[in-house]
Amino acid sequence: MLIRAGYAISFSCEVPTHMLALLSIHPSRNKDLVTPHRVLTSPEVPVYDYPDVLGNVRSRLTLPPGDVTLSCDFTIRDSGLPDSIVPTAAQTPVDRLPDEVLMYLLGSRYCETDLLSDTAWAMFGGIAGGWEKVQAIVDFTHQHISFSYNDAQPTRTAWDAYQEQVGVCRDFAHLAITLCRCMNIPARYCTGYLGDIGVPPSDAPMDFSAWMEVYLDGNWHVFDARHNVPRIGRIVMARGLDATHTPLTTSFGNAVLTNFVVHTERVE
């Protein structure tokens, strides 16, 4: 299956403003590209890519005064299969986890394990199976939070989402990640493209999406607490402890967002 995806994101600046952008697909998907993937700018400015410490591709550029648009349009090959389900995947004891995975047990900016540990153990401590435990956490998160674009808050944490019971996809991911970490299951935050492929189209404007990956039986597995059903056509862009590590753009100055369009569709 082929998927065409991309974006057009515009900013307005009064003075030259340096920016970091995390708008490239993750290197693990480069082998699936059918057409080149490039971050383009209008007007044209130099863009320098580098790998960050987590393996994501970041772009450095300086926005000139005036209006600037970052854009990309590419086609990628996908298996066309929904997210895998592995009910037999077991939880790995902490002392057997690889060194590089241990960081995904720690609390972080948006995932306050210290505040939710007692709650997590009270709700999920009696569930033995690894996959079963994660699915119970995802089921709870899916039911506990009401999705609302109008209530999106960039500072909302997992604890806030648990208390307020409202949020967007990143809030679903943060709460589920935090509860998994509280149960000693490594979980990491993912962001990327997720179009309406294999599901009824949504009336809401297309956006980037957030989900989580959990480490069970030696592998990372996708779970999506917002949708809570296997989906087709995920294209991961970045992974990290939480949204702190995966912002789409970070400006070192005043860059006002003036336009934001994302497209993801299956190529017939």
Which 3-state string (H, E, C) describes the chain?
CEEEEEEEEEEEECCCEEEEECCCCCHHHHHHECCCCCCEEECCCCCEEEECCCCCEEEEEEECCEEEEEEEEEEEECCCCECCCCCCCCCCCHHHCCHHHHHHHCCECCECHHHHHHHHHHHHCCCCCHHHHHHHHHHHHHHHCEECHHHCCCCCCHHHHHHHCEECHHHHHHHHHHHHHHCCCCEEEEEEECCCCCCCCCCCCCCCEEEEEEEECCEEEEECCCCCCCCECCEEEEEECCHHHCCCEEEECCEEEEEEEEEEEEEC
- Band (pLDDT 50/70/90 cuts) for residue 192 is very high
Residues 121-152: tens digit of each pLDDT? 999 999 988 999 999 999 999 999 999 988 88
**Mean pLDDT, the chain, whole residue set:** 96
CATH number of 94-244: 3.10.620.30
Domain ranges of the chain: 2-79+248-267, 94-244
CATH number of 2-79+248-267: 2.60.40.2250
- pLDDT tops 90 at residue 164: yes
| pLDDT number for residue 203 | 78
- pLDDT tops 90 at residue 200: no
- Band (pLDDT 50/70/90 cuts) for residue 109 is very high
Residues 40-56: tens digit of each pLDDT? 999 999 999 999 999 99
Q: What's the mean pLDDT in 211-239? A: 97
Worst-scoring range by mean pLDDT, 32-36, 40-44, 195-199, 259-263? Answer: 195-199
Q: What pTM does this model have?
A: 0.96
